[in-house]
Structures are given as structure tokens and as C-alpha cells.
Amino acid sequence: MGKKKIGLALGGGGAKGLAHVPMLEALDELGIRPHRITGTSIGSILGMLYASGISGTRIREGVRRMIISKDDSFRDSLKKRDVLRWFEFLDVEFGRGGLFKGDKFIEFLYKQMDKHTFEELETPLRVVATDFWTSEQVVLAEGDLLSAVKASMGLPGVFTPVKRDGRVLIDGGGVNPVPHDLLEDCDIVIAIDVMGQMQPDKPGQIPNLVRAVLGTFDIMQNSIIAAKRQLTPPDIYIRPMIVGIDILDFHKADEVYAQAAPERDRLVEELKRLGVVETSATLAGGG
């Protein structure tokens, strides 16, 4: 069991990315530690935390603390559906390629970790961003972690692009939403796709401006994911059916976990099928 090198790809999807947490918890409970992790957007954030040695359960607890802490301004922002009300936490930056700089969020992450470079991580990590001017995929795997993650999560028009190594970088979802193809040195590749499914509030609903723009980006990412699955199919492909969750709905964490539970169980069954874990292996609890 321990001889097979496991590669784990964590895809982007905003708050839907919280569906990664039950999958990480399942791997922990089964005693599986990835040989390498890749991540895009929120997948890069959770991948960074996990690669630094923070368990899936601790990540879940951290999310819960953000949401329920009475003294946390970030928690208060999370409970507000209106994107504009995030201004108090996400430092407004009109006129420079995005609404928010994202520096305060990066500072928040910085305080949660004791490792701040790729070289310090317990598990090798590759983070995907997009070079805005060349449209090329940029794989970040050395040096400063937080600027890499900030670039990878730089949703166009929402977060200010990041300058790094002479490039202007934006969200990696524009080129590789679920970067399982970067795990070619692994024996078994697990791809976690958290894009979910868009769903109208009522039949025939016309989306508002924000939903239209973000939804179009989702459609593009789904097309890329489908194409890459055909070219380099992962050994295990997991896609929780996440519905009713918008990009900033982090306060709906429990809903996301519940919707992810069936695919978490399927992940376990797939690992058994491939001989990664014993067929008698089970998980202790629910989502």
C-alpha cells in the first residue's frame, strides 16, 4: 500500500472548494499521504495548508472558527451575501485590474502557518496561475508561497493581478482548473473537481451581472476540465454535485460538506478498487 505514489489535484471553485475538506479528512483517516499535491485557486489555498502538515480536520476547524468567532471581522464578512460588503476585509483596489488586492486575506493565511516557502512544505506542492499577457500556464513550485497562492486565486476583475518573476499573473482556472496532468510522476492520480453545477433560483431566470460573468468563467473552466480528462485521464476523478453555492458563500460550509459526502464515500471505494487501501477500510463518521 505504501509503495504507490499518490498524486492529489485540488481544483478551483470559490466556496464550493470547501468540498475538498471532507476528501482530505478521508485521506487522513485512511492513512494516505500524497506524494505530491497540485492546486488551482481555492485548491491552491487548501493544498498549501494540507502540504504544510495541517490535517483536513484542522482545516475544517479553522473554517468553522472563521465563521462563528464573534470577534472576527472576516466571519462577519462571510455572512454577507453582497460581494460589495466584503470591502471591510478585502481591501478595495479600484482601477488596478480588480476590486480587491487580497493582501488582508493573504495576511490572514500567513498567521495560520509556520511555513512560508515551497521548500519548507512537508509535501511537494505545485500551484497553477495564468500569465495574463501570454495566456500561458505558469506552474509555481519555488520560493514564496503566499504570493503564489494569491496569484492562483486571482479571479479576473475580482482580485488585482499579481506581479511575480516578471509576469502578470491571474487565476489559474483560466488554463488548468484541476491540474491533475502535473502529477505525471505519481502512480495513482486523484483529481478533485469542485466546480459543481450552476442552478437558477427559478426556471428561466436571467442571471444578474455578477452571476453572468462568473458563470461564463465556470463554463470555460468546465470545458477545459473535460478536454484535459480526455487527454490525460486521472485514475480517480471525484466531482461532488455542489449546487446552490455562490463563489463567496463560505458561511454555507456545512451545506457544502453535506453535498460532498457521497463523493467522499466514492473516493474511499475507488481507493479500495485500486488497491491503495484494504477493502475492509471504513470511515468513522459522516460529512
* pLDDT at 97 (0 to 100): 54
Compute the distance between CA of residue 189 and CA of residue 187 in angstroms, rounded to an integer: 7
More confident residue, 230 or 92: 230
Query: What pLDDT is recorded for position 60?
Result: 94
| Cβ burial, residue 278 (10 Å; 0-12/13-18/19+) | exposed
pLDDT band at 251 (very low <50, low <70, confident <90, very high): confident
Sequence ranges of the domains in the chain? 6-273
Q: In Å, what is the CA distance from 18 to each residue of 61, 126, 241? A: 12, 19, 13
C-alpha cell at 72: 472576527
**How much is the pLDDT for 280?**
73
pLDDT band for 99, please (50, 70, 90 cuts): low
- pLDDT bracket for residue 90 (50, 70, 90): low
The separation between CA 169 and the C-alpha centre of its own chain, rounded to angstroms, equals 17
- 23 has pLDDT over 70: yes
CATH 3.40.1090.10 is the classification of domain 6-273: yes
Whether the predicted pLDDT of 1 surpasses 70: no
State the average pLDDT over residues 273-286. 78
Residue 179 CB: number of other CB atoms within 10 A?
Answer: 29
Please name every residue paired with 131 in a beta bridge, in sequence order, or none if there are none. 169
- The residue that leads in pLDDT, 228 or 285, is 228
What average pLDDT does range 118-140 have in this prediction?
98
User: Looking at the predicted structure, is the pLDDT value of residue 275 above 70?
Assistant: yes
pLDDT at site 77:
46
In this prediction the pTM is 0.87
Cell of 76: 462577519
156 burial level (CB within 10 Å; 0-12, 13-18, 19+): middle
Q: For residue range 169-218, what is the model confidence (pLDDT) as tens digits? A: 999 999 999 999 999 999 999 999 999 888 888 888 898 887 888 888 89
If one compares 204 and 105, the residue with the highest pLDDT of the two is 204
How many Å apart are CA 171 and CA 173, to the nearest integer?
A: 5
pLDDT grade, residue 247 (50/70/90)?
confident
Catalytic residues: 41, 171
Say what the pLDDT of residue 208 is.
Answer: 83
Whole-angstrom CA distances from 225 to 93, 117, 182 are 31, 28, 13
Q: Between 142 and 103, name the one with better pLDDT.
A: 142
pLDDT for residue 210: 77
CA distances from 236 to 7, 154, 223, 229 (A): 10, 27, 19, 11
